[in-house]
């Protein structure tokens, strides 16, 4: 194989696929990136058998072929090459020569045909949305997946399509995040649970451009994201996702409207007095047109009042401050509505059209 390509194209391609390189494997080939030059296309692939990424890069193919190169070493080498054209040539013993200006590396590769290709995905069920929308939807829900591997389904997100609607849901046992998206056209219904790791890697790769689309294909076992020159294939999490509809009651005893930034800044200040391990709740006292937030810990105490609009009863309730801040950071609205029932029932933060719904369980406190 012999190819010539631009350093920046090579770096960006290797950077994209290296997100699927396995770092805890007994199969050395999975620590490699496959580079393949054939039919006028240079393709880079990485695959840890859960997540696989393939991307095409621009360049000239002087001789077709393929080779598997150690991902970490290859990435470090191409990153540190001069900004110019890079020539990569391989011989029959799978040795690769990488040349750029006066720098010349010789590294040992592995036979390309040993590398596990990405699974072929049937393209029967799909949806199309903008890269911007997908990136936003993940950002606005990913924080409430669980990192507890004992409960696999909670480590992923539900993607549910019905007609012209996409619902994305995540939960960790203390909170639920839901985003409802209006799609441009109607699609066949499907329901899949996508691993959180896959979604986190997707957000690092997609540009978030509102003018560029991503097509998502699903089968019973896999999900495929296709965008620009890249394909990301992931296994799905198996099992029936939690039925959350019965948790989403529209009853409330108290509704408040509050300035989002003021509320977020206030909780942020209060959090100065607690350490992660403290598990100290912030206590919120809602009375007519006023929300008083207070916290007391080993370090001291703090109170602050915020003006609000209120409908319904007064209420005194405690929350984990981090859970509130996670939600407030991802909502773009200037003012938000919070619905409460009693100090033991979850609160809901949602907009009028329910394009987002966040449910947070309260915590007990001594007052």
Cβ neighbours, 10 Å, residue 287:
14
The answer to whether residues 144 and 176 touch, using CB atoms and an 8 Å cutoff, is: yes
> What pLDDT, on the 0 to 100 scale, is given for residue 39?
86
Under 8 Å between Cβ of 214 and 128: yes
pLDDT at 292: 98
Question: In this predicted structure, what is the pLDDT of residue 247?
Answer: 86
Give, for all 367 residues of the chain, the pLDDT tens digit.
Answer: 999 999 999 999 999 999 999 888 788 999 999 999 998 899 999 999 999 999 999 999 999 999 999 999 999 999 999 999 999 999 999 999 999 999 999 999 999 999 999 999 999 999 999 999 999 999 999 999 999 888 999 999 999 999 999 999 999 999 999 999 999 999 999 999 999 999 999 999 999 999 999 999 999 999 999 999 999 999 999 999 999 988 888 899 999 999 999 999 999 999 999 987 777 899 999 999 999 999 999 899 999 999 999 999 999 999 999 999 999 999 999 999 999 999 999 999 999 999 999 999 999 987 5
User: How many other C-beta atoms can be found within 10 angstroms of the C-beta atom of residue 255?
Assistant: 16
- Could you count the other beta carbons within 10 Å of the beta carbon of residue 71? 22
Report residue 178 CA to chain centroid gap. Answer: 14
Instruction: Provide the pLDDT for residue 367.
Output: 59
């Amino acid at each position: 194989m012999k190819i010539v390509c631009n350093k920046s194209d090579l770096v960006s391609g290797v950077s994209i696929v290296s997100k699927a390189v396995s770092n805890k494997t007994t199969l050395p080939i999975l620590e490699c990136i496959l580079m393949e030059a054939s039919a006028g296309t240079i393709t880079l692939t990485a695959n840890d058998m859960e997540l696989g990424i393939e991307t095409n890069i621009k360049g000239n193919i002087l001789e077709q072929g393929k080779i598997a190169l150690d991902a970490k070493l290859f990435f470090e080498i191409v990153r540190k090459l001069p900004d110019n054209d890079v020539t990569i040539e391989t011989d029959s013993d799978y040795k690769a020569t990488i040349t750029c200006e006066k720098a010349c590396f010789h590294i040992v590769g592995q036979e390309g045909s040993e590398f596990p290709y990405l699974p072929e995905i049937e393209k029967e069920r799909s949806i199309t949305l903008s890269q911007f929308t997908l990136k936003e939807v993940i950002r606005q829900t990913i924080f409430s997946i669980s990192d507890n591997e004992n409960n696999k389904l909670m480590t992923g997100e539900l993607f549910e399509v019905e007609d012209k609607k996409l619902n994305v849901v995540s939960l960790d046992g203390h909170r639920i995040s839901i985003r409802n998206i209006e799609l441009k056209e109607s699609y066949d219904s499907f329901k899949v649970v996508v691993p959180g790791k896959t979604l986190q890697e997707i957000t690092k790769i997609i540009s978030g451009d509102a003018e560029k689309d991503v097509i998502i294909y699903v089968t019973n076992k896999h999900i495929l994201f296709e965008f620009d020159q890249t394909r990301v294939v992931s296994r799905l999490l198996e099992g029936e996702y939690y039925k959350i509809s019965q948790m989403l009651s529209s009853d409330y005893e108290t509704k408040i409207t509050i300035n989002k930034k003021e509320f977020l800044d206030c909780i942020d200040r209060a959090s100065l007095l607690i350490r992660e391990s403290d598990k100290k709740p912030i206590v919120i006292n809602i009375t007519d047109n006023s929300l008083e937030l207070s916290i007391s810990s080993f370090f001291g105490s703090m109170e602050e009042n915020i003006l609000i609009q209120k409908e319904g009863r007064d209420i005194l309730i405690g929350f984990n401050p981090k859970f509130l801040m996670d939600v407030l950071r991802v909502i773009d609205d200037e003012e938000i509505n919070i619905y409460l029932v009693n100090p033991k029932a979850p609160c809901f933060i949602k907009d009028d059209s329910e394009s987002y719904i966040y449910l947070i369980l309260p915590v007990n406190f001594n007052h």
